[in-house]
Structure 1
Amino acid sequence: MINTIIAILLLITFAGFIFYIIKGGDLTIGFFVMAILWTVIGLIPYHTAITAVFSTPALKYGSTIIYIVFGSWFGRVLVESGIAPSISQKTNKVGKSHPLLAAILIVLVTALLFVSSYGVGSVIAIGVILLPILLSLGIPRDVALTTFALSIGSAMYVNVVLFNQIKAFFPKAQYNLHYLEFGWAAMAVQLIAVILFLVMKRHTFNPKNAEANLREIGATDPGDVNKIPYIAYAIPVVPVILNMALGWDAIPALILSSILAMLVTGKMNGYKKFKKFLNTTIKQSINDISGLIMFLMALVMFAGAAQLNAGRFKGIFSAILPNSHLLLALGIGILAPLALFRGPLQVWGAGAATAAVLSATGMFNDMFLLPLMYVPTLMAVSTDITQSWNVWGLDYMKVRPQQLLKLGVPIMWIVSIINEMLVYLFFG
């Protein structure tokens, strides 16, 4: 009984938090307050809370922060060296007569890059190139960000790094040919949805707004850039190549790529020039992500509290679980928005409880349960404003969180229902 009462109180505060965010509340403050509320309401012991909520999660996330730092620096180097603006300029010329086609090509390139790439650092490194390109085509900032975020999310269906993270909940699931058949099909569904989204939004494309939008995000005007060697255009994909071909970690790959960018664009011609450029880009890149870092600290503290409270939801979920594979898949698809805000269908949030309950029932095998929970989780990865790289994108593109939710959630809701039906067809 006590667990049920506590679970209901936790869900009430969660609903209040969602209302607070929709009304434009500050995310950092909101998540920090939620971490405290879930600690108190969940009756988490004092010493456990100090360690498992407010200390360990933040310390463990430190390595991810380092990736964010180096990714942000690489992005700033690409901008300040002229590489990003020059690529935008060239793409803008190509896409002027066919901006929709150019945008669709960028969607496909983004998905291809993230089939193997993963993490905030990679998103930042690639985002600072592709997002300005989308803006240079006259695409509004909110439409461009939604397109980029959903394109990344589509690739996560076959991304082995993320698959192995969710496999921790369902250890008997295998990343094999049968799963990949589903993964590629689900990825295709999401990509088709993104392309249809662009087609429906093509009336909002206005090249006259490109310069203002680029200036708003701090990108150099593509019309006033210095010429750079053509070899520099390959620099943005160097971290990806080093990771895919040589298995390099993102940090050394980003460092080497930053050095190459400075070298080929002449920013290392002379010690004083190099020193000034290096220090300037480092300071700017740290300033770019200062707010993001504090937000992420508050987020992981809440995630820590959510993990400790996962067992509180077991009774509720056990009582409402259907026995049918089809009904469960359809139900999860319809309820997919509950994955938002680290909710009960997001496995790296309160959804850890849902995953644990589903696995504990023994009614369904892991090869069915993993993609079943993967679909709503990837809805959150694609459009949730608590996803770290989406937070970076909102800040970089100067887009309000409500805009990403408004544009992204309806698309991903439909995609989730369709892909849950694919889960049933492939694994039910």
Structure 2
Amino acid sequence: MIGIAILVIFLVFAGLMISGRLPALLSLPLMALSIALVAGIPGSEIISEVIEAGVLRLSSAYVSVIFGAILGQVMMTTGITEKIIKKAAELGGENRTLVSIVMCAATALLFTTLSGLGAIIMVGSIVLPILATVGVPAMVAAGSFLLSIGCGMAVNLTNWAYWTTLTNIQLSDIRGFSLVVVALTAMTALVYLFVELRRAENSRTAAWAMPASGEEIRSDAPWYSLITPLIPLVLVLGFKLPIVTAFICGIAYALLTTSRSVAQFVNTFSRCAFKGVSDAAPAVMLMISIGMVLKAVMHPAVAEALTGPLSAILPRGAVGYVLFFSVLAPLALYRGPLNMYGLGSGIVSLLSGLGVLPPLAITAGFLATERMQVIGDPTNTHNVWVANFTKVDVDKLTLKLLPYLWVLTAAVAVVAAIMFM
């Protein structure tokens, strides 16, 4: 009965988040406390284990978020981000398909390093008007931009830090899998572009009505500073450096290659450090809330109560595994139970400890459904901003992307089954 009551609590708070009546920032801590109380955890342990320890549960992940946000601010402040996009636009010329592909590639590259709504607004404010200028319809521009962000996010070091901290796996265990996810997401983005541009052409869909700014994108960043997004990635992948250290090296390289004096170096770093911490604050607060949920559901009393219900629904074989994460993929939307940035933050850790499936298979399954979340979830602030900026309805944008994301999630789940089952 206790296990059923805990699952009901999950559903109640999911409903509150989906309906918009309570934000995830409040829903998750309240969920953690409710679960702890229902499971009969003593008050002293709730304070020490759920609240205090929960706040610090994902500390290494949110430190990475902060340094990643600082690097993003440095790249934007010094003009590196703008110059990368400008060069990409020059390569595309006037051909809207070619321009779209090049813009997607540039955006994906940038978001291997960048993260957060501020970075998405900065990049989107440049990329989306360029797409409008060459006649790409609003829905196609918005969808391709979100797919490009998702492509880069699959190997974003901030995300890697969060996933590994959340699931207690090693970075080396999912590195190769993440690269496959990048390739599959890139293929999906290309298919989306070709299919939707052809449909728009056949139906004579009007080009995006929002006028381009017409302003020249200017930047004094030298050409050799443009490899900044690759610096942290190469250091982690090639030299096995820790993620925070890699971010610090990327920050230092960007500042050294764009600063004309020591004073400019210091001033730029100081400004970007404060702004980066500010940009990272919402994500950090959400991770603190997620940490409380993790500590609550991983408590022995809760784990024991949930073992029976969860073990009964988990698939045992590879085919069942693929069907489970493919068919149920939309449960990653609206911060649902397959969303690692929502209800799934507690479930993924709990499932990994049940022993029904290999921990890596559980993690990879959630990374498959993460494709649905990071690209298509209308509760993402970046989805809302992109929809507003391009003047399309955010729910219609999700519906447009849904078939592509469902196939992408299924493909990733198949790869996960092959690699980890």
TM class, shorter-chain normalised? 0.7 to 0.9
* Other-structure match for 2:186: 191
Which residue number corresponds to residue 367 of structure 2?
Answer: 377
| Aligned counterpart, 1:137 | 130
Q: 2:337 aligns with which of 331, 343, 349?
A: 343
Residues 275-329 of structure 1 deviation map (CA, whole Å, 9 limit, x = unaligned): 4433332332233233332232223222332333344332223444566643453
Q: Give the counterpart letter for 2:19 in structure 1.
A: Y
Partner of 2:261: 269
Query: Which amino acid is the alignment partner of residue 193 of structure 1?
Result: T
Contact 1:106 1:130 in 2 (8 A): no
Query: Partner amino acid for 1:81?
Result: T
Equivalent of 1:303 in 257, 281, 294: 294
1:248 CA displacement: 2.9
Q: 1:426 to 1:72 in 2, by over 3 A?
A: closer
Q: What TM-score do you get using the length of structure 1 for normalisation?
A: 0.71
Which residue of the other structure, out of 61, 65, 77, is the alignment partner of 1:80? Answer: 77
1:251 paired to 2:251: no
Query: Any idea what the Cα deviations from partners look like across 1:349-379, whole Å, max 9, x if unmatched?
Result: 213334444x24xxx7x4xx74466234332
Matches within 5 A, 1:108-187: 123=115, 134-135=127-128, 137-138=130-131, 142-143=142-143, 145-152=145-152
Structure-1 separation of matches of 2:409 and 2:330? 9
SS of the residue corresponding to residue 138 of structure 1 reads helix
- Structure 2 residue aligned with 1:218: none
CA-CA distance at 1:386 after TM superposition: 12
Find the counterpart in structure 2 of residue 100 from structure 1: 97
Name which of 268, 271, 282 aligns with 2:273: 282
Range with greater deviation from structure 2 (160-169 or 345-354): 160-169
Mapped partners of 1:281, 1:103: distance in 2: 30
1:41 aligns with 2:33: no
Answer yes or no: is 1:17 the counterpart of 2:9.
Answer: no
Letter of the 2:30 partner, please give it.
V
- Judged with a 3 Å threshold, the aligned counterparts in structure 2 of structure 1 residues 184 and 39 are, in CA distance, closer, same or farther, namely same
In 2, Cα distance between equivalents of 1:183 and 1:290: 26
Which amino acid letter does the alignment assign opposite residue 67 of structure 2? F
1:11-38 deviations in whole A, cap 9, x for unaligned? 43244234334x7x53322323323333
The counterpart of 1:242, out of the listed 235, 238, 252, is 235
The 1:98/1:27 distance shift into structure 2, 3 A limit, reads farther
- The answer to whether the Cα contact below 8 Å between 2:326 and 2:413 also exists between their aligned partners in 1 is yes
Counterpart amino acid of 2:365?
Answer: V
Contact 2:61 2:161 in 1 (8 A): no
Aligned length: 392
Query: Residues 160 and 230 (structure 1 numbering): CA distance in 2 closer, same or farther, change over 3 Å?
Result: closer
- The reply on whether 1:353 has 2:347 as its aligned counterpart is no
Q: Provide, for residues 374-420 of structure 1, a one-character-per-residue CA deviation record: whole Å limited to 9, x for no partner.
A: 23433226525999xx9685698697996685565543333233444
Gaps of 5+ in 2: 133-137, 201-205
CA contact (8 A) 1:154 1:187 kept: yes
Give, in angstroms, the shift of residue 334 of structure 1: 0.9
Q: CA RMSD in A?
A: 4.5
Q: Which runs of 5+ in 1 are unaligned?
A: 213-220
Residues in 1 aligned to 2:163 and 2:25: alpha-carbon distance in whole angstroms: 28
Change (3 A) 1:411 1:37: farther
Structure 2 letter corresponding to 1:329 = V
1:107-128 CA-to-partner distances (Å, cap 9, x unmatched) read 56777899xx7xxx66569979
Counterpart amino acid of residue 232 in structure 2: P
| TM-score, with length taken from structure 2 | 0.72
Task: Find the aligned partners of 1:226 and 1:160 in 2 and give their Cα distance.
Answer: 30
Percent identical pairs in the alignment equals 18
Between the aligned partners of 1:275 and 1:285, the Cα distance in structure 2 is 15
C-alpha displacement of 1:147? 1.1
Indicate how the Cα distance of structure 1 residues 183 and 282 shifts in structure 2: closer, same or farther if over 3 A, else same: closer
Change (3 A) 1:319 1:243: closer
Q: Is the 8 A contact 2:129 2:212 kept in 1?
A: yes
Partners of 2:349 and 2:261 in 1: CA distance:
52
How far apart are the structure 1 equivalents of 2:180 and 2:249?
A: 36
SS in 2 for 1:349: helix
Equivalent pair of 2:62/2:162 in contact (CA under 8 Å): no
Distance in 2 between the 1:283 and 1:379 partners? 34
Q: Distance in 2 between matches of 1:277 and 1:152?
A: 26
Return the offset for 1:78.
Answer: 1.5
State the alpha-carbon separation in 1 of the partners of residues 209 and 226 from structure 2.
23
Q: How much does 1:210 deviate?
A: 4.9
Q: Distance in 2 between matches of 1:261 and 1:424?
A: 40
**Residue type of the alignment partner of 1:343:** P
